[in-house]
Amino acid sequence: MLNILKLSKTFSKGTVNEKVAIRDVTITFNDQDFVTVIGGNGAGKSTLLNLISGKLETDSGSISLDGVEISRLPEHKRAPMLGRVFQDPMMGTAADMMIEENMALAYRRGKSRGLRWGIGKKEREFYREHLEKLGLGLEDRLTTKVGLLSGGQRQALTLLMATMEQPKLLLLDEHTAALDPKTALKVLELSDQMIREQALTAIMVTHNMKDAITYGNRLIMMHEGRIILDVSGEEKKQLTVENLLKKFSEVSGDTFDSDKALLA
Amino acid sequence: MGAIQFSALLTALPGNISQGLIWGIMALGVFITFKLLNFADLSVDGTMATGGAVVVVLILSGWNPLAALLVAFIAGILAGLVTGILHTLLGIPDILSGILTQLALYSINLRILGGKANQGISVDKYDLLISSRTVSHAIVIGLVFTVALIIILYWYFGTEQGCAIRATGSNEHMARAQGINTKTMKILALALSNGIVAISGGLLAQYQGFADVSMGRGAIVIGLAAVIIGEVLLNAVFKKPTPFTVRLGFIALGGVIYYIVIGIVLWLRMPSNDMKLFSAIIVAIFLAVPYLKDKSGFKKAPKKVKKAEEVEENA
């Protein structure tokens, strides 16, 4: 369970560029929640994820995961509890290293890294089995450098690495936004499948309203650093893009400013 | 002025090879920071001289040359730690951290040498590991050190810790997301790199029969030249990915080739005072060519990430 209490974050505080990204957000994510997060540009979606992962430091408030306060921990100390997939497919994997080396790095998340060999003897078979699930033929390319893979392949690999050792929380930050529609769908389906099979708790930021409605059991909408809508269960199933847009203008007194979301 | 004779070039060749092997070891140190960590570490100019100074002073006071090299290695590690701490814990940019350490080491090296700018060590009086007096022996010793070092580096960068260092150099975001303390990894790599460079300095001092406080001036450029020559050659010989050992071997070979080229240039009567200018130009050309050929160079990925962040944050 993830508890966020009175969380705030302001960029460039005290300068002319001051921008409040997260305003006093309080929310609880239950175990096995698959939450989709939607909102216009600058609504604070990615900032929220970056505050949870530790990529950004919080200004005030607390974040606790399964009862452990994590908001003051450095990024690498939170990593063992989290699985992360980023918007940029280049960001989640090490391009200069082989597929198996990348997976071995993920497999050791949260374990001490000593002078044992980087990839154990029995691990390769384990990685091959996992890669087979992706259905991309990567299981036969364990020693290929990741830099030679396509964006979609890298993103699928990152997803696999994020979920291989069941994380307490999976953070997907617009992870299909940089992919072509066909690949995006494939990666999205894969994410959904993994979250369901392993009963993961997941937060998925997206620009795409349709995806936000289709996937997950709960949807939150952000605007100017606040959560302005939180729907789950049956109510979420009834959502359509039209009534979501209507709700948005009702709650925010504004029109939804993301063309990408409108077009979707 | 006499005619340029080919035999003179051949006579100088073994000397160039042995000297190149010593610089090849230095290049392996530079390879760790420049290629694996993606960190241009300028402290090596200082650590090269530190290694030389430590070894000469210790041998003069009766130490075994091998034990003296070990102490030089540790001194290099300490210097690397300083650069690493300046960069990671104190937030000083990478190049500047290296320059600060390099500058500080100049004074420290003078102190090690007892306040003198240089200190001689005669092969007649001391039992040195390697000397330009017996070049064929020097080549063998140079090769032994090179091969041993390549084996050790191959092992280390295959371990969990070595993989974590490589991940840090390849993609820091990814490394942190996988729970790697990237600051620690940077410090470790800088320490190891400078330790190796100090060993190279210790060997060079014995080889030339003296340690000089400025013997490391421009070392980084020679190291880079060797790394670049080695990698260009590697890519020309093998079209497909090569084992790490082969890659390291080519870096060491890069050092040898660099010194053979220097030998040829000297043989062609280029004034030796112009040698550093020549080296700088060569390295500049080799560094610029891949960039001009493909402006998307190796730093493309991080830049793209940054852009995406900016868009998100500024929106």
**Separation CA B133–CA A94 (nearest Å):** 47
CA A100 from centroid of its chain's CA atoms: 23
- Tell which residue, B129, B108, B124, B117, has the closest CA to residue B55: B129
Which residue in A75, A80, A118 is closest to B163 by CB distance?
A118
pTM given for the model: 0.91
Q: Is the dihedral of CA B136, B138, B139, B145 positive or negative?
A: positive
> What percentage of chain B exceeds 70 in pLDDT?
92
Amino acid letter at A29?
F
SS3 B218: coil
Residue A89 dihedral angles phi and psi, to the nearest 5°:
-60, -20
Block residue for tokens 């990925």: B301
Q: What is the pLDDT of residue A245?
A: 87
Distance from C-alpha of B25 to C-alpha of A122, rounded to nearest angstrom: 35
* Residue A16 token pair: 């002319």
CA–CA distances in Å: residue A227 to residues A22, A59, A248, B24: 9, 18, 11, 59
Q: Taking an 8 Å Cβ-Cβ cutoff, which residues of chain B contact chain A?
A: 156, 158-164, 166-167, 169-171, 173-182, 241, 301, 304-305, 308, 312-315
The contacts found for A185-192 with CB under 8 angstroms, 24 or more apart, are: A186/A152, A186/A156, A187/A152, A187/A155, A187/A156, A187/A159, A188/A215, A190/A134, A190/A156, A190/A159, A191/A85, A191/A159, A191/A215, A192/A34
Give the model's pLDDT for residue B299: 47
Chain centre to alpha carbon of residue B125: 30
Q: What is the pLDDT of residues B105-136, one digit of tens each?
A: 999 999 999 999 999 999 999 999 999 999 99
**Tell me, what's the pLDDT at B314?**
41
Decide if A263 contacts A245 (C-beta within 8 A).
no
CB of B257 within 8 A of CB of B22? Answer: no
Helix (H, G, I), strand (E, B) or coil at A19: strand
Do A113 and B180 make contact, defined as CB atoms within 8 angstroms? yes
| Exposure on the CB side of residue A257, measured as CA atoms within 13 A | 11
Rounded to two decimals, the ipTM of the complex is 0.92
Q: Which residue has the tokens 């073994």?
A: B14
For strand B118-120 and strand A82-85, is the pairing parallel, antiparallel, or unpaired? unpaired
pLDDT of B315 reads 36
pLDDT of residue A96: 94
Compute the distance between CA of residue B55 and CA of residue B68 in angstroms, rounded to an integer.
Answer: 5
Asked if A75 lies within 8 A of B177 by C-beta distance, the reply is yes
Read off the amino acid at residue B25: I
What residues of chain A have any CB closer than 8 angstroms to a CB in chain B?
A: 11, 19, 21, 41-42, 46-47, 53, 55, 74-77, 79-80, 82, 84, 86-88, 90-97, 101, 104-106, 108-110, 113-118, 145, 161
> Residue B3 pLDDT > 70, yes or no?
no
- What is the three-state SS of B101-134? HHHHHHHHHHHHCCCCCEEECCCCCCCCCCCCCC
Transcribe B195-211 into DSSP letters: HHHHHHHHHHHHHHTEE
The span from the CA of A202 to the CA of A195, in Å, is 7
Average pLDDT score, chain B:
91
Polymer length in residues for chain B: 315
| CB atoms B158 and A80 under 8 Å | no
CA distance A238 to chain B (A): 30
Give the confidence band of B2 by pLDDT, cuts at 50, 70, 90.
Answer: low
Closest CA to A53 of A91, A82, A87, A21: A82
Q: Which of B156, B173, B178 sits opposite A91 (nearest CB)?
A: B173
Which residue from A46, A79, A94 is facing B312, i.e. has the nearest CB?
Answer: A46
Gap between the Cα atoms of B289 and B299, Å rounded: 15
* Pairs of residues, one from chain A and one from chain B, whose beta carbons lie less than 8 Å apart: 110
CA nearest neighbour of B126 among B71, B66, B195, B213: B66
* In this structure, CATH architecture of domain A2-97+149-263: 3-Layer(aba) Sandwich (3.40)
By the 8 A CB rule, do B247 and B234 touch?
yes
State the Cα–Cα distance between residues B29 and A80, nearest whole angstrom: 32
CB contact under 8 A, B304 and A109: no
Give me B179's structure tokens. Answer: 């729970």
CA distance B104 to chain A (A): 31
Is the predicted pLDDT of residue B309 greater than 50, yes or no? no
Q: What is the pLDDT of residues B216-267, one digit of tens each?
A: 999 999 999 999 999 989 988 998 888 999 999 999 999 999 999 989 988 8
| Mean pLDDT (10-residue bins), chain A, 264 residues | 96 92 96 94 93 96 96 96 96 96 96 91 93 93 95 96 95 94 94 95 94 95 93 91 86 64 50
